[in-house]
Structure 1
Amino acid sequence: MTFIRAWRFITLMLAAFSLSLSMTHLLELPQRMQFDQQLWVRVTVVENVYKLFGSVGAVFEITAILTAIILTFLVRDRDATFYWTLSGAILLVLAFVSWITFIAPMNAEFAKWLTDPIPADWTRYRNQWEYTHAINAIIKIIALSSLAISVLVETPYKLDRHI
């Protein structure tokens, strides 16, 4: 296995791990939006069922971005592969920027709810948190798809015809 193939594999796996966390949020969204305040706050804030998403998930997120950026550099002379890889890397960065901009502030707000009263407009915070996670999942689906396509565009035609 060449270095670039190994790097692609690592990048794809890290992007998939990052997406898996976002997919959890996306798939839970319809049910969680039906939770009343008490249940939503207990599960999300008090019990913190997503605790490892902040530590383990952060490693997946950051390393997926870094490996995708490096992969973009490694395939810079491969036309279509480069553009698909670049789009995947950009989308991973976009999802992370979205998380920093819209989700991290909500996490900081939720931490206050452990000692302070929950605001009357708690659904505003919940909605931003839930819907931004859903949008991030969609962005990461497209990012992972772009990275996978970057490999597929290099699949030899002869091999493709025999399958």
Structure 2
Amino acid sequence: MFTSLSLSPSMAHLLELPRRLKFDQQLWVKVTVFENVYRLFGSVGAVFEISAILAAIVLTVLVRKHRLIFYVTLGGAVLLVLAFASWILFVAPMNAEFAQWLTNPVPTNWVRYRDQWEYAHAINAVIKLLALSLLVLSVLVEKPIPAGASRIL
């Protein structure tokens, strides 16, 4: 559940990407920096992101004795950590840069900052989608039933 909630803001970024890349400097900076339409994506999104990672790690530990399920779950957890690391490396520095634009002129090469911010969000959406896919798959893979045991439906 937390992974799907974490994926939601990322998918919003991905789906908005084509249109936002057509914004001129004034509109993009106004919407993104000055009006900060993504304000809750950072605060609420951070709770979802950290919760998703922790839940995936707990799930990985719980299924550690089931080889195939363990590796699929581990893959999902690793991808969630990778998405978070990517956010720290590529999005957070842009957020810090944009904060400076509130009191300083927007640099002439603003497109470079915009592109890094937009594309890093898009890549994170794809990584999280893969992570969610693996985590869902991990709970759909059947564990072998020991001989003589009955399946409770």
TM-score scaled by length of structure 1: 0.87
Shift of 1:39: 0.3
Shift of 1:134: 0.3
Aligned 8 A contact 2:60 2:74 in 1: yes
Number of positions where the alignment pairs a residue of Structure 1 with one of Structure 2: 145
Partner of 2:48: 60
Mark the runs of 5 or more structure 1 residues left unpaired by the alignment: 1-12, 157-163
Consecutive aligned runs of 4 or more in structure 1 exceeding 2 Å deviation? none
Q: Pick from 106, 117, 137: which aligns with 2:125?
A: 137
Aligned 8 A contact 2:66 2:143 in 1: no
Which amino acid in 1 is paired with 2:59? L
In 1: Cα distance, 2:94 partner to 2:3 partner: 24
Partner of 2:57: 69
Aligned 8 A contact 2:57 2:77 in 1: yes
Percent identity, aligned pairs only, is 71
DSSP 3-state at the match of 1:99: helix
Partner of 1:107: 95
| Bigger helix share | 1
TM-score scaled by length of structure 2: 0.92
Partner of 1:4: none
Shift of 1:116: 0.3
Query: Alignment RMSD, CA only?
Result: 1.3
1:91 is the counterpart of 2:79: yes
In 2: Cα distance, 1:154 partner to 1:40 partner: 48
